[in-house]
Amino acid sequence: MRTFIIGASLALALTQVELAWGADDNITALVRGCHVYLGDLEDPHARLEAGECIGVVKGLTAAALAQGVDLAMRQVKGIYRKSDPSPLFCIPLNTTNGQVIGVVIKYIDQHPPENTKGSEFALLALRALQEAWPCKP
């Protein structure tokens, strides 16, 4: 049941991202914000986008961590089933926010989206993290 709640929360968060952003926000602006967050770009007008960038990425990593903790607790309690879903991705310990955002930016640069709405950023970030750090069975 917890896994369902975590999955439903993640799905709801991804669908609500577009509502939180204005119509002018797009992936290009968010990627620029990621660069501002990393410090490789000076743009005082992109501080809001820098916050949105780290917010989306931290939200995804928190959801994956919660799912992983839930699965670990199920194993400890002996109620784990093989049908339980695998974690979304498994970021190694001591990975910095900057490294995670770097992975997201690189993925978006290599996979330019057709849809440039800001809400697509969260889905691309999720794909980037899944590709970079898949969970080992």
Domain boundaries, the chain: 2-132
For the cut 90, the answer to whether the pLDDT of residue 129 exceeds it is: yes
CA proximity to 85, closest of 112, 67, 58, 103: 67
pLDDT for the residue numbered 73? 78
Q: Which amino acid is at 116?
A: T
Geometric angle at alpha carbon 117, from 113 and 119, rounded to 5° = 100
66 pLDDT band, cuts 50/70/90, is confident
**Tens-digit pLDDT profile for residues 6-44:** 554 555 454 444 434 443 458 888 999 999 999 988 888
Confidence at residue 16, expressed as pLDDT on a 0 to 100 scale: 43
Supply the pLDDT for residue 58: 92
The pTM score is 0.73
- Environment class of residue 25 by beta-carbon count within 10 Å: exposed (0-12), middle (13-18) or buried (19+)? buried
Which residue type, as a one-letter code, is found at position 102? G
- Higher-pLDDT residue of 102 and 87 is 102
Strand, coil or helix: 26: strand
